[in-house]
A and B are shown apart, each in its own frame.
Chain A
């Protein structure tokens, strides 16, 4: 009889203090969740040479602008990004500083020895994306569907005056993140 009573008391105790609560996470336990997705992109064109540019000129990679020596006549949407990820992604863009050897341009809207790159996702109809210089990045494509592609062009906004004739170069980075 005592054993039965003890067993019943144990059963009641288990109801009052559920096992789940003993196994539950403490209130200060940090949770970490990650879905096994894979982020990957390809860019089909990686180079463009604007050639010799005039002061205060706008040169771009579309057929509508003056074509640089690296351009291909008739090639709208010069740079193509292919989303080879397993999920939809966002594409952001940013640039390094100008590298002119001993004399670098300053990055910014056209001014003395100052120039920048702008980007277009509509074949040059608008150049509303000012490519930022390293410190931050801006959105180029929002929600590029997995296994699809989209394209963009770049425009060089040349300085209003040149103090030196060094060739300038920079690196533009397109960054893929989960949408």
Chain B
């Protein structure tokens, strides 16, 4: 009987000590693209937030690119700095471009294909950076013609520890 009580206490403590699972994503942020985007070119996610970052650390995330056209298309995937940063963030320092690795900067996607491209940021151990800074990964269909062309960009928001 005593053992049963002890087991219940131990089990309770174990359960109480386990981290809580996070809440499911809100309904308005679908985890799969809406069907109406099948014929559109899109990227996902729109924003990547890195927290607790520090010189010498590495972070990576995959950027999904979808070719919505009926023809194969080559895309350019490039690093970009913007003055239009998120609130509280500074533009990435000049040397930051060398810290960003794009696994495939010129993917060719078949019609309606979706492909993941790995993006990594690796800061040298002696780097000096602002507490909160931002860069973008810009994706452009280089087979576009015309005077006005479109580009899609993913914000990378970096907060140092």
Contact = CB atoms under 8 A, between A and B. Distances in A.
Interface of A: 3-4, 7-8, 10-11, 14-15, 18-20, 23-24, 27-43, 45-48, 79, 84-87, 89-90, 92, 136-139, 169-178
B42 A38 contact: yes
Contacts of A178: 46-47, 154-155
Interface in B113-161: 136, 138, 140, 144-155, 161
Contacts of B3: 3-4, 7
**Most central of A15, A18, A173, A175 by chain B CB within 10 Å:** A175
A169 B25 CA distance: 46
Contact of A14 (B14, B32, B42, B147): B14
Interface of B: 2-3, 6, 9-10, 13-14, 17-19, 25, 28-34, 36-37, 40-54, 57-61, 68, 80-84, 136, 138, 140, 144-155, 161
A36 B40 contact: no
Nearest to B7: A7
Given A34-B47, A46-B147, A174-B151, A4 B30 contact: no
Nearest to A37: B46
Given A28-B57, A86-B34, A170-B147, A138 B25 contact: no
A36 B37 CA distance: 14
Nearest to A21: B17
A19 to B, nearest CB: 3
B155 A177 contact: yes
A18 B152 contact: no
23 contacts: A4-B6, A10-B10, A23-B18, A28-B54, A30-B52, A31-B50, A33-B48, A33-B49, A34-B61, A36-B30, A39-B152, A40-B152, A41-B150, A45-B148, A46-B148, A47-B146, A84-B36, A85-B42, A92-B84, A92-B153, A137-B84, A170-B147, A177-B155
